[in-house]
Structure 1
Amino acid sequence: MKHNSLKFGFLALILILSACRTGTQAPTKPTALTPIKLPVGYIPNIQFAPLYVAIEKGYFKNEGIDITLDYNMENDSVALLGAGQLQFAIVSGEQVLLGRGKGLPVVYAAAWYNNYPVGVIVDPAKNVTKPADLKGLTIGLPGPYGANYIGLRALLAAGGLTENDVKLSSIGYTQAENFMTKKVDAASIYVSNEPNLLESKGVPFTLLKVSDYTSLVANGLATNETTLKEHPELVRGMISGLLKGIADAGANPEEAYEISKKYIENLDKADTTVQKAVLKSSIDFWKSLKPGSTQPDAWENMQKLLLDMGMLDKPIDLTKAYTNDFLPVPTK
């Protein structure tokens, strides 16, 4: 009996000491960082301020992640994600659907933009007040690809129009210049960019925003099925770092702008008024009551648009194209 009493006494002591260590010891942080190359598309730009903030303030490193940004084309990123050569990329919703339509196991894991940031600027002399009024106009865009093209097609569809009702002109990323010199009647643009530039130069325009007519899936963090299954904590860490960067940049735009100078060459020599206006306009597109969450209706609208455009051969299982399961749990 005495032997058993001593045995239980030692067990109790061990449990007490363990509890004390657990209660007083600070949480351990990862000693080795996981390197992640994150493609974002386009070039270094103030619109990527949340990423610069998250990197600079250590939001990714606190999650055990060492981020390197890579600027390339969205379709390249999706192909590499699907092949398992990348674990993450910043892409728009249509690229995820187009990738899955080709059998690529890519998954949209967190929304960055709450609204689709594309629109069309039009010469006021054309008296355009709604999408249907675009009929017969020459519309410039980088080319028949990417978000500018998808957004334009969404606006045309909202007006009951098709490409055959307008003349598309592939002008590269020179929409503002071509618009100002009247080489085109209208141009498909990012709402945060060209409108602010034109306003600074006193150039009048009419703006039609895609988000005023339909809900589509915009830019967000994409990954692949293997990463979701084998590295769920890495996915959560990436999402956490991104959302903290978005929230911080939105709450402290002046600080975000200063941080961005380190990552954007010659930002300190650019027109500060225009660039800060671009950041402010971008922040409006990031705002969300449910940060990171993506909505079924936006995916349904996007899929219908791609099917109507002939870019998807047949409907896909949308429930496998995106997930909200890895978002941070809201604190009460």
Structure 2
Amino acid sequence: MKKWLMIIVSSLLLLTTACSNSNDSASSKKKGLKHVTVVLDWTPNTNHTGLYVAKEKGYFKDEGLDVDIIQPGEAGADQLVAAGKAQFGISAQESITEARIQGVPIVSIAAIIQHNTSGFASPKEKNITSPKDFENKTYGGWGAPVEKAVLDSLMKKEHADVEKTKIINMGETDFFTAVKRDIDFAWIYYGWTGVEAELRGEKINMVYLTDYSNKLDYYTPVLTTNEKMIEKDPETIKHFLAAASKGYTYAIDHPDDAADLLIKAVPDLDPKLVKASQKWLSPKYQDDAARWGEQKQEIWENYASWMYDNHLLDKKLDSKKAFTNQYLPK
């Protein structure tokens, strides 16, 4: 809890956001719209397309909302949402699970992608085709305890020893630079970095988490809000998700047009990468779920139990409070 409190209390970004939101809110009232903010988990990419579609095509306005989509600063999306400085954010099941255990009142309200599309990627010439091949190799990560736990979990399936894998923090270095310089493999989302490798003509091997454990098929990313928002303003959540659902459904049905809308909204993005990524990712949004955004309790319980068993949690998660399907359109 200490880490969260330090970030929430000390970050000047929270104050900046609060002032900005106050001004935007006044402007929105003049238009007859309710101003809300959604904070991304990273720089804009095809995980976020549905939100940009909903904004560009007026779906949010149709629901009476003026929505600002902003990138996270020093304080991430989880912290801003938990502190009530943003109404909505993008996160992952792992982060929310950890936050809930620490008493942070953040809740997942929709799964953006139904299944975990992440895995360990390596240049093809390194011949890393299964977890056993992680032995005597160097993994580049971001310094989170969950990384070694996931590596260990997968490697045990093939009687391999995680202690024989060198783990280093590669910081902000991108995958393509890092694997040429000082690492053998890294954890990526294929829908962006993997597709980028295809476009670059750089062949990679992928070891997907879901090929080795159903407990690692968790929701990443998800849309979030906080408990106070649920208590005080559930109608806004319903309106927000109605528009977001419509945006993601459009991206499912019209990936090329949806990619164009994302490129229009964020012109700094590489159009070829966005187009190719969108084509790959659009079928993954809803996948085998009855509707976009649907979450299952067993998925939350499976991953939380895996985290607990791997000593990543101090206590067991009350999964029923960590997510809800209540505000999704029927």
TM > 0.5: yes
1:80 aligns with 2:80: yes
- In the other structure, the counterpart of 2:71 is 71
Report if the CA contact (8 A) 1:78-1:89 is conserved. Answer: yes
1:281 aligns with 2:280: yes
Change (3 A) 1:323 1:75: farther
- In the other structure, the counterpart of 1:89 is 89
Give 1:154's match in structure 2, choosing from 135, 150, 157: 150
Query: How big is each residue's C-alpha offset from its partner over 1:246-280, in whole Å with a ceiling of 9 and x where there is no partner?
Result: 1101211121122122221333xx3x443321112
Write the mapping of 1:1-332 to structure 2, written as runs, cut at 5 A.
32-72=32-72, 76-141=76-141, 143-145=142-144, 150=146, 153-154=149-150, 156-160=152-156, 164-171=163-170, 172-179=172-179, 181=180, 183-213=182-212, 214=214, 215-267=217-269, 270=270, 272-288=271-287, 289-290=289-290, 291-329=292-330
Deviation at 1:313, TM superposition (A): 0.8
- Structure 2 counterpart of 1:216, one-letter code: Y
Report if the CA contact (8 A) 1:253-1:279 is conserved. Answer: yes
Q: Residues of 1 paired with 2:146 and 2:197: CA distance?
A: 23
Deviation at 1:238, TM superposition (A): 1.3
- In the other structure, the counterpart of 2:3 is none
Q: Secondary structure at the match of 1:140?
A: strand
Q: Residues of 1 paired with 2:151 and 2:113: CA distance?
A: 18
Paired residue total: 292
Q: Residues of 1 paired with 2:211 and 2:84: CA distance?
A: 37
Change (3 A) 1:152 1:73: farther
- Structure 1 counterpart of 2:107, one-letter code: V
Report if the CA contact (8 A) 1:119-1:152 is conserved. Answer: no
Report if the CA contact (8 A) 1:41-1:74 is conserved. Answer: no
Q: Residues of 2 paired with 1:32 and 1:131: CA distance?
A: 55
Deviation at 1:53, TM superposition (A): 0.6
Q: Residues of 2 paired with 1:93 and 1:73: CA distance?
A: 20
Deviation at 1:304, TM superposition (A): 2.6
Q: Which structure is larger by alpha-carbon Rg, 1 or 2?
A: 1
Q: Secondary structure at the match of 2:140?
A: strand
Point out where structure 1 has 5 or more consecutive residues left out of the alignment: 1-29
Q: Residues of 2 paired with 1:278 and 1:152: CA distance?
A: 28
Q: Secondary structure at the match of 1:159?
A: helix
Deviation at 1:38, TM superposition (A): 0.6
Report if the CA contact (8 A) 1:119-1:151 is conserved. Answer: no
Q: Secondary structure at the match of 2:191?
A: coil
Report if the CA contact (8 A) 2:146-2:312 is conserved. Answer: no
- In the other structure, the counterpart of 2:19 is none
Q: Secondary structure at the match of 1:157?
A: helix
Q: Residues of 1 paired with 2:316 and 2:75: CA distance?
A: 20
Deviation at 1:31, TM superposition (A): 6.8
Report if the CA contact (8 A) 1:140-1:184 is conserved. Answer: yes
Change (3 A) 1:293 1:155: farther
Deviation at 1:92, TM superposition (A): 0.7
Q: Residues of 1 paired with 2:266 and 2:176: CA distance?
A: 21
- Structure 2 counterpart of 1:177, one-letter code: T
Query: How big is each residue's C-alpha offset from its partner over 1:158-207, in whole Å with a ceiling of 9 and x where there is no partner?
Result: 3326753421222224112222x253111111111222222223222211
Q: Secondary structure at the match of 2:59?
A: coil
Point out where structure 2 has 5 or more consecutive residues left out of the alignment: 1-29
TM-score (norm 1): 0.80
Q: Residues of 1 paired with 2:66 and 2:173: CA distance?
A: 31
Report if the CA contact (8 A) 2:256-2:279 is conserved. Answer: no
